[in-house]
Amino acid sequence: MTALDLSSPVAVVGTGTMGQGIAQVALVAGHPVRLYDAAPGLARKAADAIGSRLDRLVQKERLTADERDAARARLTPVDDLSGLAGCSLVVEAVVERLDVKQELFRALEDVVADDCLLATNTSSLSVTAIGGALRVPGRFVGLHFFNPAPLLPLVEVVSGFATDVDAATRAYETARAWGKTPVACADTPGFIVNRVARPFYAEAFAVYEAQAADPATVDAVLRESGGFRMGAFELTDLIGQDVNESVTHSVWQAFFQDVRFRPSLAQRRLVESGRLGRKTGHGWYDHREGAERPAPHTAEPAEPPAYVVAEGGLGPAAELLDLIREAGIEVREAEEDEGTRLVLPSGGQLVLADGQLAAEFADVVYFDLALDYRRATRIALSHAGHTSAETVAQATGLFQALGKKVSVIGDVPGMIVARTVARIIDLAVEAVAQGVATEEDVDTAMRLGVNYPLGPFEWSRRLGRGWAGALLDEMHEVDPCGRYAPSLALYRYACATDQREDTP
C-alpha cells in the first residue's frame, strides 16, 4: 500500500491544539482538509488560527505566499459530521475518553465509505478498544502525533488487534509523505514512547522521595551528566503535572498495576495542591514572574588527590583514566587487573554506580554514569554516613580537577543517571521481545519523541549488553519490591551472542 494521493481529502475531528496541528501538517503536505468540532463555531475559529500560522510560515520563508493561499483554499471547516463524507482519512483528536471516541467513530462509519482510513491520535487509550465497536475495525489505526505536531517529527503508527496490515501500511506511508518520521508499533499501553519513558520520571521522583536530592540537583545531573535535554522535574512542569501523572496512571492501570509503572505519591500531592507546572505558575518549581530558580547542590572546591590506583579498566567510565592523566594526576595500575574502581590515597574506593549502596562497604564513594565523561559538566557522587571525610574530599577534588561540577547526593542505589538508563533499557528490551516494535523503531521513537541523547539500544551497545541487568539485579537485591527486578527479556538479551558455544 502507498500513501494517500494528495487529491484525497483528509478530515480532522477535534480542533484543539493537537487537532489544529495535525490539520496544518496535512494541509501543508498538499491535501484538502476538512475540520469538524462538536462545539459550534470552533471549527471556523480553528481554520482562522491555522491561517494565521500559515502567515507566520510565510514570514519565516518556510512557505511562499502562493503556497499559503493555495493551502488556505484547501481548508474547509464543516458544521456537521456529514460534511466529512468523501474523505479518505479521518483523524480524531478529541477528549481522552474511551466512550466519547467510540461513539464518534461509530457515527463516522455512517458517513464515510468503508475504505476510508480511520485514525485516533490517542496517547493513552487502547487503539484496540476504541476500534472494537466498529463495523469495519480493520481500517482503524492509531496515528499518535507529538505536540506541537507541525514541529515534532515523530508519529507512532499503532496497529490494534484487528487492524489490517494494509491499513497500517497506508497510514505509515502517509505520515512519511507528510514529512514525518513514522515508527510502527503494536497496541500496548503507552505505545513506545510513553511506555519506555516512564522510568525517566519515576526514578527522578524516587530519588527525591528518598530525600537523596532536590529537584534542581536531579535535573542538573540528568542534563549535565546524562545528556538529557531537560530534567524530569522541569519537563513535567512543562508538560503539566496533571497530564504527566494521568499518562503514568493510565499505563500503570493498563499493566494491571505492575509495580514497575507505579505512580509517584509526591507527584500526586503536587497535583492535589493545584501546582500543575508552568500553566498554573507553580509546580516543582516556582514559575511566577520574578521567582528565582533554585540552584543545584554543588560541592565546595576540594584538593585533588596526587594519584589514583586503577583496579581494572573502569568499564563504561574507562575514558576517565585519560582525563585524569590529562589533568596531571598520576594513574597507577594495580598489579591485579580485576575490578572496576579507583583507589584513592586515603585508601577509600571510587566506584561507578553499580546498584549497590555505599553503606554496604567500609569506605566507598560512588560516582554516577555519564553520557560522555569528557563533555559532562557535572558528576554526582554518593557516599554513606560512615565514609571518611578524606575519601569524600579526594573524590570531589578529583572530578573538580577534571573540570566538572560535583553534586553530592544521598546514598541511593543506582544513583540518578545509571538507574534511569538501566530501567529505560529494560523496558525497551521487553517491548521488543513482546513484538511491540523493532529495536530501530524504539531508538528512533525515544530520540525524536522525547529528545533522548541516545536510544535505549544505543545506550546498551555502548554500555554492554549485560550492564543494565547487572545493575538492576543489585538494586533488586537492595530493594526487593519488584520494581527493579530485571525482566526475563533483559536476561535473555544479556545472554545473547552471535553464536553460543557453551553447552549445559
Q: Which helix (H) or strand (E) holds 503?
A: none
Residue 61, C-alpha cell as written in the block: 520563508
Which residues are within 8 A (CB) of 156 and not within 5 positions of it... i.e. 6 or more apart? 142, 143, 144, 182, 183, 185, 191, 192, 193, 445, 449
Decide if 78 contacts 35 (C-beta within 8 A). yes
Residue 3, C-alpha cell as written in the block: 500513501
Going by C-alpha positions, the residue among 194, 205, 186, 187 that lies closest to residue 248 is 194
d(CA 440, CA 326): 37
Is 71 exposed, middle or buried (CB count within 10 Å of its CB: 0-12, 13-18, 19+)?
Answer: buried
**Any idea what the Cα angle at residue 177 is, between residues 175 and 182, rounded to 5°?**
35
Instruction: Give the catalytic positions in this structure.
Output: 123, 144, 156, 194
Q: What b/e readout covers 96-115, taking b as 16+ CB neighbours within 10 angstroms?
A: beeeebbebbeebbebbeee
Going by C-alpha positions, the residue among 405, 361, 403, 360 that lies closest to residue 381 is 405
d(CA 331, CA 14): 63
What residues does 78 pair with on adjacent strands? 36
- Start-to-end Cα distance in the chain: 47
Is 477 exposed, middle or buried (CB count within 10 Å of its CB: 0-12, 13-18, 19+)?
Answer: middle
